[in-house]
Amino acid sequence: MKRLIEIKVNGERREAVVEPRTTLQEVLRDQLDLTGVKEGCQSGECGACTVLLEGRSVLSCLILALEVGERPVTTIEGLARGDALHPLQESFIEHGAVQCGYCTPGMILSAKTLLDQNPHPGSGEIQKALEGNLCRCTGYNKIIEAVLVCGEEQS
Amino acid sequence: MKLPTINLHQPTTLAEALNLSNTLGPGSRFLAGGTDLLARLKRGAAKAAELISLVHIPELRQIRGLTIGGGVNLYSLLEVTDLHRQFRALSQAAAVVAGPQVRNQGTLAGNLCQDTRCLFFDCSDGLARARPLCLKRGGEECLAVPGSKKCFAAYQGDTAAALLALGAEVKIEHLGGSRRLALADLFSGYGDRPLSLAPGEVLTQIILPQPQSEIRSGYRKYRLRGGIDFPLAGVALNLVPPCSETPQGEVRVGLTGLSSRPQLLNLGGKASPDELAEAVHRAARPVDNVGGQARHRRYMACQMARDLLEELRNEAAD
């Protein structure tokens, strides 16, 4: 049976109509047009669908939309302030940490979870924080560098 | 990959959840973090028409002293003050479960109660149906050990090995009652139905033992990649200091990834690294069903146990 729900996403309350089996990822992409949430493996192995739930990275393909309740969701679309990109987004561009771009939203949101808790991480800590996000293009070095420099610049 | 059609129930108290489970019967499953169950439902490697969510039950997320609510997620567990100092094996095991997103979602009880895995069972529905079905999917024989009528799917939970070595207990609740048992008794040893839980039972608490000042423990994991992967072999050790009952102390060993259940071995406190490796070698019976070669997984278990014992003893001597 379909139900009308409200989700707090990127600071706004949005309405969606969902079935019990609808995942958070399906709602965000298909109903709310937040297509920065990528569809990857659909089984919790690649991290492309990563969003923030109460500020922490989660896999939106393995969360039922009905389970979100009042908890705030942040997608990559919620990071920029108007035309001003988030420092992590700027750093990814500056360091060439984006190739095909499919993993990038998830990478940036996982990196944000790390920087919010540990503003100046070392490369080992960054590697550990991003291990749930797979990239098939870059070889990871530029991604780690982008997060490392962003952390250093915030100091 | 969409989920099959389900009904979702969202009780806010444990009593309500247990009542629902009783009413809905064996076709229902409890849903916690969802990282194991929802992925399996998508792949057709689990069936459930009715899901009873445990996410909205605050009592399951509480930590009181040494009692950890089953719904505490692994990230929150790792934030517990003194966990690393007093129960290092658990903190090391929880820290290497999957990746950060899964640790943010997945719960401790869910990690313990995860289903067993096997390349022939835990694959996409299409792949599973492209060949004869394995035993666990309803076929005639095990495909990992051809001819066998026994399922060899491997239990690959990290925290189970650590909690076994540490001597944890669990509380199981059902409508109208509860029981408390040693963690080892939670597991049946059968690959196709790895838990000893009856329909309607739910793991609500994990009870850690009183920490002793000299307890030294640790966990080592062998996997193909440094992140995300399940353990192809996992070893937890706990050096229990001498007491009146065991004047020489004990080496408690938890193994995972090497059989259809996590295993507990008890050795005397003066066991040498070679004796420990020999005991692990005898106990580990992996088959080629979860990636990596079985003989190499067994070898790595022995090696990790030996290294960890030496490391913990050196630390004790410092």
Q: Which domain CATH number covers A137? A: 1.10.150.120
Interchain pair A113, B100: CB under 8 A = yes
Of A62, A113, A132, the CB nearest to B38: A62
Residue A14, beta-bridge partner list: A7
Does residue A129 belong to the interface with chain B, where contact is any CB pair within 8 Å? yes
Determine the distance in angstroms separating the CA of B123 from the nearest CA of chain A, rounded to an integer.
Answer: 11
Q: Which chain A residues contact residue B55 at CB under 8 A?
A: 67
Distance of CA B22 to the CA centre of its chain: 25
Each domain of chain B, given as residue ranges in start order, spans 56-207, 216-317
- The verdict on A67 and A92 lying in the same domain is no
Which chain B residue lies closest to A114 (C-alpha atoms)? B100
Please, are residues B256 and B234 in contact by the beta-carbon 8 Å criterion? Answer: yes
Please give the C-alpha separations between residue B167 and each of A52, B163, B239, B258, in angstroms, as whole numbers: 35, 6, 11, 20
Interchain pair B38, A20: CB under 8 A = no
Q: Return the residue in A3, A50, A57 with the most chain B beta carbons within 10 A, the one to mutate for interface testing.
A: A57
Domain of A33? 3-78
Please give the C-alpha separations between residue A117 and each of A1, A61, B287, in angstroms, as whole numbers: 40, 24, 42
Q: Which of B71, B97, B223 is nearest to B162 (CA)?
A: B97
- The verdict on A18 and A58 lying in the same domain is yes
Per-residue pLDDT of chain B (318 residues; tens, 9 = 90+): 899 999 999 999 999 999 999 999 988 999 999 999 999 999 999 999 999 999 999 999 999 999 999 999 999 999 998 888 899 999 999 999 999 999 999 999 999 999 999 999 988 888 888 999 999 999 999 999 999 999 999 999 999 999 999 999 999 999 999 999 999 999 999 999 999 999 999 999 999 999 887 779 999 999 999 889 999 999 999 999 988 888 999 999 999 999 999 999 999 999 999 999 999 999 999 999 999 999 999 999 999 999 999 999 998 787
- The verdict on A105 and A147 lying in the same domain is yes
The class level of CATH for B216-317 reads: alpha beta
Q: CA gyration radius for chain B?
A: 19
- The verdict on A74 and A92 lying in the same domain is no
Q: Report how far residue B159's alpha carbon sits from residue B303's, in angstroms, rounded to the nearest whole number.
A: 20
Q: Report how far residue B99's alpha carbon sits from residue B8's, in angstroms, rounded to the nearest whole number.
A: 27
Size of interface A-B (CB pairs under 8 A): 85
Domain count, chain A: 2
B56-207 has which fold?
3.30.465
Cα-based angle A59, A63, A65 (whole degrees, multiple of 5): 130
Does residue B99 belong to the interface with chain A, where contact is any CB pair within 8 Å? yes
Q: What is the structure's pLDDT at B318?
A: 75
Does residue A59 belong to the interface with chain B, where contact is any CB pair within 8 Å? yes
Q: Return the residue in A41, A64, A116 with the most chain B beta carbons within 10 A, the one to mutate for interface testing.
A: A64
- The verdict on A36 and A92 lying in the same domain is no
Q: Which of A25, A43, A78 is the last residue of a domain?
A: A78
Q: Report how far residue A138's alpha carbon sits from residue A99's, in angstroms, rounded to the nearest whole number.
A: 7
Chain segment B153-182, per-residue pLDDT in tens: 999 999 999 999 999 999 999 999 999 999
Which chain A residue lies closest to B122 (C-alpha atoms)? A43
Q: Which of A44, A78, A112 is the last residue of a domain?
A: A78
Q: Return the residue in A1, A3, A39, A131 with the most chain B beta carbons within 10 A, the one to mutate for interface testing.
A: A131
Q: Which chain A residues contact residue B104 at CB under 8 A?
A: 53, 56-58, 113
b (16+ CB within 10 A) / e for B61-85: bebeeeebbbbbbbbbbbebeebee
Chain segment B294-310, per-residue pLDDT in tens: 999 999 999 999 999 99
- The verdict on A39 and A56 lying in the same domain is yes
- The verdict on A7 and A59 lying in the same domain is yes
Task: Identify residue A24 by its one-letter amino acid code.
Answer: L
Q: Report how far residue B279's alpha carbon sits from residue B98's, in angstroms, rounded to the nearest whole number.
A: 28
- The verdict on A71 and A126 lying in the same domain is no
Task: Indicate the SS3 state at residue B309.
Answer: helix
Q: Report how far residue B133's alpha carbon sits from residue B191's, in angstroms, rounded to the nearest whole number.
A: 15
